[in-house]
Structures are given as C-alpha cells and as structure tokens.
C-alpha cells in the first residue's frame, strides 16, 4: 500500500477534522452548457499560491495553533486577554450527477474520460444516489417528505466551509462561489431546509457553554473516532487501541480493505484518479428533543433509576461521555479522566444493552467487519437549544445534526452500519431490537430496543415500541477527490 500523503487528502478526513465553531454546507448545481467552464474553475481552486481547498497538512498546522492558544488560555483568568485563533478551511465534493457533468466538460476540453462506466459495479450505492437508495434499502422516509433542498433540483456538488466564526466562514464561502462562477456557472438549489430560510445552504454551530461538544439530546459527541497512523499521535492510538484504523478504510486505495460478507461491490474497478479520495454520506437528522425526553421519562417501565439512566442505556454512554460499560449505574464522579479504552467482553446486557447506540454501531471487537466498517464522522449540530420551559411554537424552529461521514467504501461502512446494524433487529443477537438513536424500522414503523433486568429477563413490554426521536430529512452521497485529482484530472485549462 502506498504511503499516505497528507498534502494530497482533503483536510476534513481525519478524526479531528476542521477546527470549527461554525460550519456551512452549500449545495450547488452545475448549469447545463457550462460544464467545461466549471472544470476550468475547479482547477483555479488549487492552482495558485493560495490553496482554496484545505489539505490535511494545512488543517494539522491550524490545530497546532488552536491547541497552543487553548493551552495558554487555561493559564489566563481575564477573558479579555485570552488568545483567539481565526481559522477557516474548505472542502469540495461531487455527487454522481456532478461527476457526470464534469466528465462532459472534460470531453469538450479534449481531456481523458473519468472512466465512470464501472461505478455501478465498484460503488453501487454512490452511483444510485441517496434518494433512490435510502427509502428502499435504509428504511429512510419517502423522498416527498424530505426538506425541499434535497428534492427539488439535482445536487451536483457540495462546498463545506468551517471555521472560528460565522462571518469568516460565510466570507470564505462567498469567495469560493465567485471562483466557481456563481451564479452563471454554478447555481443555487431551489429549495431550503429549516430552520434555514436560505435556499441551497445549511449552517451549523457548536453548542455553547456547558453544552459545547454535545448534541441536542445532551450527549457528548465525536468520541471513538477512527485513529489513523501517521496522523493521530501515538498517545491517542495507545489511549483507544480498539479504534486504530488502517488508512484504506477512510480513503480510497489501490489496495482496498476486505468487504463485509454479502456485499456486492468491486472496489478494484475504480479509476486510479479516485485514490486518496473518500466517499461522504451527508444526512440532515432532525432531533425531536421533546419526544426523546418523553421516552426517557418512562424509565420506571424500563427498570431504570432515572431518565438519565435510561438515556444512558439507550445511548451506551452518559451525557458526559463515560461509557455505561464502565459506569453502569451512574455517571462518573466529577474530574474523572475520560477513559475510552473499553470493550464489551463480559459486560452484562443489563448494564449495557446490545441495542445501545454505541454498542450497535461499534461493537469494539478486534478485526473483521468491525474494523472495516469504521468511518470518520465530522458533522455539527444545527438549530437553537430546546428549552422545556419555553417550547418553540414555530414549526421551522427545529434542531438536530448535520451528519457527515467519510469512508473509502459506502457499502462497507455507512450503508452497512445503517442497514445491517442500526436497523437490524437481530444484530448482534436475535430480539436485540433497533438502535434507539439512529435506527429506522421497516415501512416507517415503530422502534423497539430490548432491555433486560438483572436476571436477564426481557423488559421490552415495559418500554414497548416507540417513535423515532431522530428523523432523516434529506441527504446525498458525495465523492471527495484528492487535491491532485482536482488539479490534474477534474480540472482543466
């Protein structure tokens, strides 16, 4: 396997991703008849002295500055004297229709074909697109119930821009749109996605204060990311040995990882220009916080001590991030160092149900399907915090997660995990039930998750069936090309 080159891989494709407080997703369409001009614009993104699309090397340098300032700020009491590091980074990705448009533009320029004819064999999920794949294979809601942004116009591409504040991020986005010829060469998608009233765009923000780093159900997010040799520190690898991951699980390689059992795909048929790229599964997941609160308030029916106890069992972690596999009855004491080095061998299904979210999507057994199913998750929350004392009355005042997962093979990772593990009522054992957080039942039915009492008797009748608290509102599959592919293959003079 060729040595991984961090100068050639787009910068969000590792465990920490872009440093950010704000992140914008801008979806665009390539105007018919402007395909060649678009290819010329793509090349200008990375051809000059200023590289408008960030590499991992650039993002690692940003993190050094951010971490250095954070360490210094911990010694300063006066907020006014704390150091602030402005950062902004960008990523570009294309759907299958977008790659088709680029191929048409390259043909007009007399450039070689992208050789996309075998994508239906090498990467059938990407070739199909989420609108055709999701409702049939992942139990997604029907497309006509998705937000207008994801069902009105063909999405050809995505600009993802993240940074230290909203102004810097949106200024960068506007600059990139001008470079790509907006609004003549690329145009907006004619549809919005609440709470945003702006067509073509979604904006997320990290939550503030004590909620920073937590999603809207209240749990610390972004833990147990794949750790990649050559990028993550040896200290990180030692701290969570179960998450050590080969680079070819995340970025496309000439030596792809072994496929899961039963998957019909042949990654060896990909064109060589896709090496060092990655497939992105983007989904807008709306979180119904009142519904989640109501579910957790049924803790007595589920044999739990409190709403927080039931929530922790369904998630597999306490809101602080400590796993119930290590702290089964209550959250860890304050100031306990977070130890993410754990496994489920010998862990009672009473303490951590087989259907707990983090046990479902990451069983933490060494090797095999568990290792090759991993993906980098670098999304962000969106919407305002829910206040039970003042519940919103505007139906567009929604909140949730802009989910973004990178992997070298959708069939091996996101698609497999969602279809077989999260949705699978018999994974890892019969009568396990659904993943209560991200699972989706067949025919949009109700979910169930089997809980157990201390004698291993089922408590399913106690908790019963329940509605989804997390609803998919639209999305798409994208390919994130390498820096060199943008310059030498997808771009033209």
- Tell me the per-residue pLDDT of 97-115, one tens digit each, with 9 for 90 and over: 999 999 999 999 999 999 9
Give residue 323's pLDDT band: very low, low, confident or very high (50, 70, 90): very high
**How do residues 112-164 score in pLDDT, each as one tens digit?**
999 999 999 999 999 999 999 999 999 999 999 999 999 988 999 999 999 99
Model confidence at 1: pLDDT above 50 = no
**How do residues 230-247 score in pLDDT, each as one tens digit?**
899 888 888 888 899 999
Q: Decide: 431 and 458 in contact? Cβ < 8 Å.
A: yes
pLDDT at 264: 87
Question: Mapping DSSP to helix (H, G, I), strand (E, B) and coil, where does residue 128 land?
Answer: helix
Helix (H) or strand (E) holding 23: strand 22-30
pLDDT at 82: 82
CA distance 385 to 3: 43
CA distance 282 to 303: 36
**How do residues 333-374 score in pLDDT, each as one tens digit?**
988 988 888 999 999 999 999 999 999 999 998 878 899 999
Distance of CA 76 to the CA centre of its chain: 34
Average pLDDT, the chain: 94
Task: Report the percentage of the chain scoring pLDDT > 70.
Answer: 99
Task: Name the token pair of 235.
Answer: 């200290």
Helix (H) or strand (E) holding 477: strand 470-480
Rg value, the chain, Cα: 22
pLDDT at 2: 52
Q: From residue 39, how far is each of 29, 188, 328, 422 by CA, in Å?
A: 13, 18, 55, 39
Q: Decide: 164 and 19 in contact? Cβ < 8 Å.
A: yes
Q: Decide: 12 and 59 in contact? Cβ < 8 Å.
A: yes
């Amino acid at each position: 396997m060729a040595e991984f080159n961090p100068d050639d891989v787009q910068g969000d494709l590792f465990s920490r991703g872009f440093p950010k407080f704000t992140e914008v997703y801008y979806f665009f369409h390539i105007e018919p008849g402007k395909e060649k001009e678009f290819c010329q614009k793509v090349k200008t993104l990375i051809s000059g002295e200023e590289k408008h699309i960030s590499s991992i090397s650039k993002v690692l340098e940003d993190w050094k500055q951010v971490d250095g300032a954070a360490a210094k700020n911990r010694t300063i009491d006066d907020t006014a004297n704390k150091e602030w590091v402005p950062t902004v980074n960008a990523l570009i990705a294309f759907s299958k229709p977008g790659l088709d448009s680029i191929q048409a533009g390259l043909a007009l320029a007399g450039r070689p074909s992208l050789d996309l004819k075998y994508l239906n064999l090498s990467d059938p999920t990407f070739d199909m697109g989420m609108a055709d794949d999701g409702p049939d294979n992942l139990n997604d809601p029907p497309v006509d119930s998705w937000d207008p942004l994801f069902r009105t116009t063909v999405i050809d591409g995505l600009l993802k821009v993240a940074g230290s504040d909203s102004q810097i991020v949106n200024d960068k986005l506007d600059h990139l749109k001008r470079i790509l010829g907006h609004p003549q060469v690329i145009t907006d998608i004619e549809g919005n996605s609440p709470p945003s009233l702006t067509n073509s765009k979604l904006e997320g923000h990290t939550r503030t204060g004590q909620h920073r780093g937590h999603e809207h159900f209240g749990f610390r997010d972004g833990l147990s990311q794949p750790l990649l040799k050559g990028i993550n520190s040896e200290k990180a690898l030692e701290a969570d040995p179960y998450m050590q991951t080969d680079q070819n699980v995340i970025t496309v390689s000439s030596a792809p990882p072994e496929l899961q059992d039963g998957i019909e795909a042949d990654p060896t048929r990909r064109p060589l220009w896709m090496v060092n790229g990655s497939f992105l599964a983007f989904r807008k997941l709306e979180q119904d916080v009142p519904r989640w609160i109501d579910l957790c308030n049924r803790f007595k029916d589920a044999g739990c001590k409190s709403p927080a106890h039931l929530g922790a069992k369904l998630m597999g972690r306490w809101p602080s991030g400590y796993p119930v596999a290590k702290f089964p009855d209550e959250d860890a004491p304050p100031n306990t160092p977070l130890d993410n080095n754990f496994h489920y061998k010998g862990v009672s299904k009473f303490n951590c149900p087989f259907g707990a979210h983090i046990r479902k999507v990451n069983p933490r057994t060494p090797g095999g399907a568990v290792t090759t199913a991993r993906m980098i998750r670098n999304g962000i929350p969106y919407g305002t915090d829910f206040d039970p004392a003042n519940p919103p009355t505007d139906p567009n005042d929604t909140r949730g997660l802009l989910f973004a997962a990178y992997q070298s093979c959708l069939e091996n990772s996101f698609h497999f995990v969602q279809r077989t593990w999260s949705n699978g009522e018999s994974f890892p054992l019969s009568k396990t039930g659904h993943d209560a957080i991200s699972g989706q039942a067949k025919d949009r039915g109700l979910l169930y998750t089997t809980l157990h009492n201390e004698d291993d008797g089922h408590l399913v009748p106690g908790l019963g069936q329940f509605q989804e608290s997390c609803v998919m509102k639209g999305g798409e599959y994208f390919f994130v090309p390498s820096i060199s592919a943008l310059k030498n293959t997808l771009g033209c003079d």
